Structure 1
Amino acid sequence: MPQPDSPSSIRTCAARMIRAVEAFEQDADSGKLRQALLDATLPISQRADLYKLGVKRQANHIENAKWLYYDDQLTLELDEFPKGKFIPPHDHGVWEALVLCKGSLKHTTYKRMDDGSVEGHSELSVVEEVMMKIGDIAMVVPPSDIHSFEAMSEDTFALTIVGGEYSPLRRYYNLQNNTYAVRTPRALRESGALAGAPR
């Protein structure tokens, strides 16, 4: 295990991420924040003990989600995405970045086309669909923070970096019905709705 001040320690990498956020958050869409976060995660992603690290995170879309670092400025977690489990379009109310460490992940971002004036109604348009490979980063930034994803292989793991805390409630969008519902990730998972989520 690395010493607390080693380049691959979680605390050291989190400090680099926080400095990157302080430097580039106001211009998050420029790519500078993405690159700085990717550079900061590299030492962690190469640790041999990565998949043994962390503390279980309860409220999430998936069973195997673990906190690696958490404070009021930054959240870092390690998530395992089961092959074929589609996580429907949703938002967070805060920016989020995914760095793929293992496997492959289809990541789709969306733009809201309606004006949001009708409660429960939404019209989404696909902005980008990317097949992520190891070392790729995907980022969603409010107000364009709607995304979905699906693991395309077994043992798909990503480091998830969040600019602060997740909103406890999220909008989950149904593309077929042009609707959304506000729920917690845990309630959605426990309801079984993720098993039959329309793509």
Structure 2
Amino acid sequence: MSIDSYTLERFIDDLRRLAASAVDEASLLGQIAPLAQRVVAERGWLRADMYRADPQLGFGTSLLHVEADQSLFVVVDSWLPGRGVPPHDHDTWALVVGVEGSERNIFWQRLDDATRPGYAELQRMDEQCIAPGQVLAMPSGSIHSVINETPHTSLSFHVYGRHLNHTARRQFDPEHHRELPFIIDAR
């Protein structure tokens, strides 16, 4: 490893510094994006076990870092071919960088006022495919679904403002207008 390589540890240090001094979420995401692309390009953090995914869920999550207060959550997600996750939010900002393969992100807008527990009306709005090195920045409140349409397991690097199991994160069933809690197993 060269002295000027951008390691995961350097990325986490920079992430802490930027998060502590951020003026707003949009500028924070803009500052983190090129650093996340840089650490993904280095790949020194990548391990063979990160390709494993739960066959029932269709994805797997490998923990890279979380702060003691549950902030600054960094993971790698693996997506099995033809699989993904339904529409969901994060209840925090999120930044995703493609590592291997591609993933299609479909963006949704909530139409109801969120006052009925367990109920949600969503409308499909837009989509974006991300390939290796490409960045997707999502401010708090974003709702998206993900699918891997390739014949191989794909990987993506995720950075969040808070551990997802310590937010009010939800997943949605647009067909039946349901809203449910969304907890992950980060190993």
Note whether the superposition's TM-score is higher than 0.5: yes
SS across alignment from 1:167: helix
Q: Which residue is equivalent to 1:104?
A: 102
Q: Indicate how the Cα distance of structure 1 residues 7 and 82 shifts in structure 2: closer, same or farther if over 3 A, else same.
A: same
Q: Indicate how the Cα distance of structure 1 residues 183 and 166 shifts in structure 2: closer, same or farther if over 3 A, else same.
A: closer
The answer to whether the Cα contact below 8 Å between 2:107 and 2:144 also exists between their aligned partners in 1 is yes
Q: Which residue is equivalent to 1:34?
A: 29
- Greater displacement, 92-101 / 162-171: 162-171
The answer to whether the Cα contact below 8 Å between 1:170 and 1:185 also exists between their aligned partners in 2 is no
* Identical positions, percent: 18
Instruction: Please give the alpha-carbon distance, in whole angstroms, between the structure 2 residues aligned to 1:124 and 1:9.
Output: 39
Q: Which residue is equivalent to 1:68?
A: 64
Displacement of 1:160 after TM fit? Answer: 0.4
Which amino acid in the other structure matches residue 37 of structure 2? L
| Counterpart among 146, 151, 156 of residue 148 in structure 2 | 151
**TM value normalised by structure 1:** 0.75
Q: Which residue is equivalent to 1:20?
A: 18
Q: Which residue is equivalent to 2:84?
A: 86
**TM value normalised by structure 2:** 0.79
Q: Indicate how the Cα distance of structure 1 residues 55 and 136 shifts in structure 2: closer, same or farther if over 3 A, else same.
A: closer
| Counterpart among 48, 51, 56 of residue 46 in structure 2 | 51
Which amino acid in the other structure matches residue 41 of structure 1? A
| Aligned length, in residue pairs | 179
- Greater displacement, 6-15 / 145-154: 6-15
Structure 1 stretches (4+) deviating beyond 4 angstroms?
Answer: 53-56
Q: Which runs of 5+ in 1 are unaligned?
A: 187-199
Instruction: Please give the alpha-carbon distance, in whole angstroms, between the structure 2 residues aligned to 1:176 and 1:25.
Output: 38
| Counterpart among 117, 120, 123 of residue 119 in structure 1 | 117
Instruction: Please give the alpha-carbon distance, in whole angstroms, between the structure 1 residues aligned to 2:108 and 2:29.
Output: 18
Alpha-carbon deviations, 1:35-81, whole Å to 9, x = none? 4222112332123544318899x99x555321222213411112211
Displacement of 1:115 after TM fit? Answer: 0.6
The answer to whether the Cα contact below 8 Å between 1:121 and 1:178 also exists between their aligned partners in 2 is yes
1:136 matches 2:124: no
Instruction: Please give the alpha-carbon distance, in whole angstroms, between the structure 2 residues aligned to 1:64 and 1:9.
Output: 23
Q: Which runs of 5+ in 2 are unaligned?
A: none
Q: Indicate how the Cα distance of structure 1 residues 112 and 25 shifts in structure 2: closer, same or farther if over 3 A, else same.
A: farther
The answer to whether the Cα contact below 8 Å between 2:7 and 2:44 also exists between their aligned partners in 1 is no
- Map 1:152-191 onto structure 2 (within 5 A): 152-153=149-150, 154-168=152-166, 170-185=169-184
Aligned-residue Cα RMSD (Å) equals 2.9
The answer to whether the Cα contact below 8 Å between 1:54 and 1:78 also exists between their aligned partners in 2 is no
Alpha-carbon deviations, 1:128-177, whole Å to 9, x = none? 211112222112222x2221101122131111001122135632211111
Displacement of 1:103 after TM fit? Answer: 0.6
SS across alignment from 2:120: coil
Instruction: Please give the alpha-carbon distance, in whole angstroms, between the structure 1 residues aligned to 2:74 and 2:115.
Output: 34
Instruction: Please give the alpha-carbon distance, in whole angstroms, between the structure 2 residues aligned to 1:109 and 1:171.
Output: 14
